[in-house]
Structure formats: C-alpha cells, structure tokens
Amino acid sequence: MVSAEIKNRISALREQLEYHNYRYYVLDAPEISDAEYDRLFRELQSLEQQYPELIIPSSPSQRVGGAALTEFTQITHTTPMLSLNNAFSEDEVVAFDRRVREASELSQVDYAVEPKFDGLAISLVYERGQFVMGATRGDGYVGEDVTANLRTIRAIPLLLATPNPPQRIEIRGEVLMLKADFAALNAYQREQGLKEFANPRNAAAGSLRQLDPRITATRGLHFFAYGVGQCEGVVLPSTHGEVMDLLMAWRIPVAHERAVVQGVEGLLAYYQRIGAQRDSLAFDIDGVVYKVNDLAMQQQIGYVARAPRFAIAHKFPAQEATTQLLDIDVQVGRTGAITPVARLAPVSVGGVTVTNATLHNEDEIRRKGVLIGDWVNVRRAGDVIPEIVSVVMSRRPSDAREFVMPTTCPVCGSHIVRLPDEAIARCTGGLFCPAQRKQALWHFASRRAMDIDGLGEKLVEQLVDENLVHSPADLYRLGLLSLVNLERMAEKSARNLLAAIEHSKRTTLARFIYALGIRHVGEQTAKDLARYYGTLEAMMAADELQLQQVPEVGEVVAKSIVQFFAEPHNLTVIEMLRAAGVCWDESAPPVIQNSAISGKVFVITGTLPTMSRDEAKAKIEAMGGKASGSVSKKTDFVLAGAEPGSKFIKAQELGITILDEAEFLSLINENQGEEDGQGY
C-alpha cells in the first residue's frame, strides 16, 4: 500500500510543476529558477519510478512517451479551420473597416487585435479538461494527428486549470519557435554538420513533423492560442477579448500584446505600435490580426468562401524576398580571409532595400548550390546581414555559371591560398595588402581593443589611402595639420580624435593583446593570456608548449601566437607603440589558479534575478573561470536565470551541473578565501 503522504506529495509536485509552467509560458514571469523546477521534476520522476501504479497520463513527467510513429494519422476537423484574408496596405484596412461597419450597421466598431504569429496553425482538443488530441491545420478540413508531439510542448497544458471544464472544447493557435531557440538550434545543427533551418517557422514545422516525439521535445517549441473552434458544455463570454482572458485563466498561453481598440484609427495605431516592436519580440510575426470583438456580431457579419468577413490579417513587409544574384565578389578581411559577397538586384526586404548578402565561404556556395545568375530567396531578420536562403531552381537561367574563387587578391594582387584543412581562403599579402591594413587598424582602434573613439571605418580608409598611417604606431604620430587636411575633417573633430588617441595610451594588457589582431586570439583569449602571464614579455617569451598550458589555449592558437611574435615587423610595431607611450598596469596580480572555479567553463543563460550577465561573467573571470557562449561537453557549469531557452535543455541532456544565481554566488563565496596568497 502506498501511503497517503506519498500520494499527496506526488499530486503536490504535479500541481507545482503545472503552476510553474503557467508562470513561465503563460505569464512570462517565472517564480523559481530552472534549477529549482528541475529539482521538483526529478523528485516527481523518482517517486513515480518507485510507485509506477500512481503514474497518470496527465502527469508533467509523461509529456514524452510512446514510440516513434511510422506516419501521422489524418484527422478531420469537427469545424473547419478557416483561413484569413490579408491586407497589405492601409487602404485595404480602411476598406475592411467600411465593410464591417456596413454589415454591422455601427458607426464605430470595437476590434480585438493581436500579433500574427509566424508559426503553424494547430487545433487542440480538451475533453473534460484533459488534452486528448492535437492536429495540424492541414488544408483547413483535414490535418494530421500530432498529439504525441504537442504533448511535449510545455506551453500546452495537459489539464485545463478549472474545476468545471467544458465537456469538449477545441482551442486553436500557433506553434512556433522562439528566435533565441532557433539561433541555438541552428548553431547546434552547424556544429554537428547537419542541415540548418532557413527560419524559425521552418524549424518549428520540421520539429512538429518529427515522427519521434523525443526529438520534438528537445526543440523547445512554444504555443499561443488565438481562438476557439467547436465547443460543448460551456457558455463562452460574449467577446473575443474575454474568451482570450478565459483561456489564459485556464493556463493556455495567449498573446501578451493583444488589445481591444476602437475603429480604423485604433487598428492602424496598433499596426504601427507592434511594427515598432517587431524586431525586439522573442518570436517572428508576419503582421497583426484584427477581429470584430463582439462574437454575436462576428456571426452576423459572416463568411465569404473559406474566410471570415469579420477578421483580417494586416501583413508586415515580408522578411524574405526573391531576387537575382548578379555576381559574386570577394571581400578581404583583417586576417586576409576572403569572403564571397553576393551582389543582388536591389530588392525590398522587410522595408529595407537589400543589394548584398553574405555567402561566408566557398563551401557554403556549393552547399547551397548557388550559381551566378540564379534567382534566390533572400532573408533579412532584424539587423543581421542578409542571407541567401535558397535557390529558385525552376527559374535558373541557361547561362547561370559557377563561382570561381580568384587566385589573386582583388585589392593587392597577392596570391590567394586555401589550406587543405581550412574552409577559408586567404590573401597572402599580410599588412602589405591595404585591405588587411585598414581592417587591422580599424580592429586596433575598436571599442573592445584600444577604444579610440571616433576612429571609424571611413576615417581609417582615408588615413591609409592618404598614406598617413601604415601601422598602428603611426596613429600616435598624427598631428593636427595632417588631419585637418583630410577631406570632411573639421578642426574640432581633428582635436577630438587626437585627444581620443592620447587617451587610448593608458590601456590594459588584455586590450593590448587583443588589439594586436593575432589570428585566433579573440577578446576572451586575450584576457586569458593577460591573466595567465601578467606581462607582455612573459607571454612573448613562451613557446608553443608553454602557451598550451594556458587554460583554453590549444595548439592552433599557440602556433598562431608564436608565429606572430616571430615576425620582426610585429616586434617593431610593438616597440614603437610602447615608445609612443602606450602602457598598462602590470601590477595587477594574476588571478588564482587553484580555486574550484579556475579553469572551469561556465555558460550563462536566461535573466538572473539580481545581476546582469556581464556582472556574472566578471565574477567568473575574476576567479579564473571562463564564460562561454554555448553549451558543449566542455561546459562545467550552466548558470541559469529566468527563461533560459535551449541552452538549458542542452545542459540537461548532457548532464551538466546547473546552478541558479544563489548557488552560483555561494560557489563563488566558498572559493573566495582561496584567492589570497595564490598566484605565482
């Protein structure tokens, strides 16, 4: 016999887990850390393992279950899932409002308004409060039974939180993938050499159409409801807005951005407001949806063909567009990396004219199968560089030709070589190549390096083209006279620049190392090196094997550092910089090597309750640890705050220790004592 105590504990755990899902997915306001959620979850799992007779299908532990399917069963929707008509301009919205006013005989109409999620429409059936079946929209009449996959989505409650649920209710909404989860998924796909997804929508679709629900479960899909289909045994409120509130009370996620507005002015103001938020939302939207708020009025206005007359989607400019690839040029980077750049016939993507897209490298061009002359789909999301998503094969011109990597640098004429084990081709011109020289200077002056305010790309270009600056050391010899002679340079800006250059002389060893632009030595590695060696001389004296003793420095980085300092030219530049007065504090003690944190790799994810990620990062680094951006087998700890996303799931999969902020702080404090007197 199982004791009442155990039964009570199990049901309390289930209730708590459902409640915290609700806090997280519906309210977007978690109360506990993921680590704490995880602890509750594991406690439930272990109790259920001990007492399997107490397992019920609606238990939060039973989201992922059953075997992989061989195919999906077809489902006929009890009431068809209609489509929405689109409006692409204000005029079309004005016309929509006019039709609604005429049909309703009202002078001003109340509208329920919400974002248009760019996901997949689905329907969820709850019987007596239990989630029993979920299906894709399909053609609106017949969809596919994806119940097992939908059960793995934590945003979808397995039970409706109400003591008197309807006999049967069909809830409609969209399944989607958050932008952050999409980025993490693609990073993972790339690492594993798997195919990347073109956009969050495709990733969500691919994840929902998995025959094995265990895969769907790892993808962290989200769900938002937008309406109710067939419904028995409950009297629904009289407006759409109130129905959405009711769903939310049942713990079904609905759009936080939803509102009720008056008249066409209200619609257009809402469109502007959500449009301005578009890039900063956690998920992709492709417009907003307007619905007559009064449900009786909706029925009076009725339908045309398969779409309601009482609702319309007002679309945003698409973030994808089709255009022609006119040519592929190459650009030369700071370390000579040759990047192919697509030159496109100008096309408006999401309201911005796009003429270039990056192609990363030669292999990527082959992988995408792009030929010069092809029609291609281009995507621009937020402020990232536009990318070529795919080729429209049916429109391939007969004279489309393959891209051939040039053998000489378009800027300096030096040979371009691609080493056998590298994806990147490089110009061998080094600092002889003006393109590389410009970028090296720009990197040297950049914010995270020497931080010379006002020395941007354009100015560097002028300084190099006018032969005023060859190496970074020349910056410290610039005079007012030569600067004011430059085009578009007023005396005031020249003085400001000289002051910024002067100011940059006092720096840190880490910044200086980073500013040198040694291949493979990014900001983090520069910090690691500075911390380990304490002085530039000590670092320059190290050989490859010694360099590899530095945490996180491997063979490739060590080789690159040794090569850099073996170059007499680089030593001259360093000497000249120091002679010009560039200096840093070398007295700061190198950080402890022996704490439990030193050498450990942390990944920070989600929002921490009391400190920013940068603060947490600084604490980790001060203790000799390292903060990394992605979870892998090398990660020692994941520090998780609210809404941690897929990094958290990956950490769980890999069995990595997950800390909340409090646990992290106590780990730091425990080790603080060891800090004193360590070092070397």
- Concatenate the DSSP letters of all residues of 144-165 into one string: EB-HHHHHT-TTS-SB-S-SS-
The CA distance from 360 to 391, in Å, is: 16
**Pattern of binders to ligand D41 over 32-71, x per CB under 6 A?**
----------------------------------------
Residue 96: CB minimum distance to ligand D41, A: 13
Q: Which residues does 422 contact at the CB level (< 8 Å), separation at least 6?
A: none
Residue 291: CB minimum distance to ligand D41, A: 6
Return the number of other C-beta atoms located less than 10 Å from residue 294's C-beta: 21
Of positions 62, 83, 189, 324, contacts ligand D41 by CB under 6 A? 83
The burial of 658, by beta-carbon neighbours within 10 Å (0-12 exposed, 13-18 middle, 19 or more buried), is given as buried
Q: Which of the residues 210 through 239 are near ligand D41 (CB under 6 A)?
A: 226-227
**Residue placing its CB nearer to ligand D41 in the complex, 227 or 645:** 227
Under rule CB under 6 A, how many of the chain's residues touch ligand D41? 15
**Looking only at Cα atoms, what is the longest distance across the chain?**
93
- Told to judge if 116 belongs to the known catalytic residues of this protein, a careful annotator would answer yes
Of positions 41, 72, 117, 403, contacts ligand D41 by CB under 6 A? 117
- Reference 432, options 338, 336, 560; nearest CA is 336
Residue 311: CB minimum distance to ligand D41, A: 4
**Residue placing its CB nearer to ligand D41 in the complex, 82 or 530:** 82
**Per CB under 6 A, 416 contacts ligand D41:** no
Please report the sign of the dihedral spanned by the C-alpha atoms of residue 509, residue 510, residue 516, residue 518: positive
The CA distance from 396 to 33, in Å, is: 52
**Residue placing its CB nearer to ligand D41 in the complex, 297 or 378:** 297
**Residue placing its CB nearer to ligand D41 in the complex, 254 or 370:** 254
Span near ligand D41 by CB under 6 A; candidates 113-121, 359-367, 627-635, 662-670: 113-121
Residue 16: CB minimum distance to ligand D41, A: 31
Please report the sign of the dihedral spanned by the C-alpha atoms of residue 399, residue 401, residue 406, residue 411: positive
The CA distance from 518 to 110, in Å, is: 62
DSSP-derived letter for residue 642 is: B
The CA distance from 533 to 530, in Å, is: 5
Counting DSSP H helices and E strands in the chain, the numbers are 25, 26
**Per CB under 6 A, 290 contacts ligand D41:** no
**Per CB under 6 A, 174 contacts ligand D41:** yes
Residue 602: CB minimum distance to ligand D41, A: 37
Catalytic-role residue among 7, 116, 626, 650: 116
**Residue placing its CB nearer to ligand D41 in the complex, 255 or 561:** 255
Continuous H helices in 90-134: 90-104
β-sheet bridge partners, residue 416? 427
**Per CB under 6 A, 181 contacts ligand D41:** no
Of positions 116, 154, 179, 219, contacts ligand D41 by CB under 6 A? 116
User: Could you give phi then psi for residue 238, rounded to 5 degrees?
Assistant: -95, -5
Residue 225: CB minimum distance to ligand D41, A: 9
Q: Are 213 and 152 within 8 A, CB to CB?
A: yes
DSSP-derived letter for residue 72 is: P
- Reference 444, options 377, 505, 356; nearest CA is 505
β-sheet bridge partners, residue 601? 626
**Per CB under 6 A, 642 contacts ligand D41:** no
Segment (H or E) for 627? strand 626-628
β-sheet bridge partners, residue 378? 321, 388
User: Could you give phi then psi for residue 136, rounded to 5 degrees?
Assistant: -75, 165
**Per CB under 6 A, 114 contacts ligand D41:** yes
Q: Which of the residues 119 through 138 are near ligand D41 (CB under 6 A)?
A: 121, 137
Residue carrying structure tokens 């730091």: 668
Residue 215: CB minimum distance to ligand D41, A: 24
**Residue placing its CB nearer to ligand D41 in the complex, 316 or 403:** 316
Burial annotation 409-435 (CB, 10 A radius, 16+ → b, else e)? bebbebebeeeeeeebbbbebbbebbb
Please report the sign of the dihedral spanned by the C-alpha atoms of residue 232, residue 237, residue 240, residue 242: negative
β-sheet bridge partners, residue 341? 329, 358
**Residue placing its CB nearer to ligand D41 in the complex, 137 or 617:** 137
**Per CB under 6 A, 289 contacts ligand D41:** yes
Residue 271: CB minimum distance to ligand D41, A: 14
Of positions 151, 291, 314, 426, contacts ligand D41 by CB under 6 A? 291
**Per CB under 6 A, 82 contacts ligand D41:** yes
Classify strands 320-332 and 375-379 as parallel, antiparallel or unpaired: antiparallel
**Residue placing its CB nearer to ligand D41 in the complex, 114 or 374:** 114
**Residue placing its CB nearer to ligand D41 in the complex, 63 or 137:** 137
- Reference 343, options 359, 332, 364; nearest CA is 359
**Per CB under 6 A, 311 contacts ligand D41:** yes
| Three-class secondary structure of residue 92 per DSSP | helix
Span near ligand D41 by CB under 6 A; candidates 78-86, 579-587, 590-598, 641-649: 78-86
**Per CB under 6 A, 328 contacts ligand D41:** no
**Residue placing its CB nearer to ligand D41 in the complex, 170 or 661:** 170
Q: Which of the residues 474 through 493 are near ligand D41 (CB under 6 A)?
A: none
Segment (H or E) for 46? helix 34-50
Span near ligand D41 by CB under 6 A; candidates 80-88, 322-330, 335-343, 640-648: 80-88
Span near ligand D41 by CB under 6 A; candidates 8-16, 116-124, 190-198, 212-220: 116-124
The CA distance from 646 to 20, in Å, is: 18
**Per CB under 6 A, 308 contacts ligand D41:** yes
β-sheet bridge partners, residue 430? none
**Residue placing its CB nearer to ligand D41 in the complex, 222 or 291:** 291
**Residue 35: what residue type?**
A
**Per CB under 6 A, 617 contacts ligand D41:** no
- State both tokens at 202: 């495709």
**Residue placing its CB nearer to ligand D41 in the complex, 123 or 323:** 123
- Concatenate the DSSP letters of all residues of 240-263 into one string: HHHHHHHHHHTT--B-TT-EEEEH
Residue 264: CB minimum distance to ligand D41, A: 18
The residues that are catalytic are 116
Contact residues for ligand D41, defined by CB under 6 A: 82-84, 114, 116-117, 121, 137, 174, 226-227, 289, 291, 308, 311
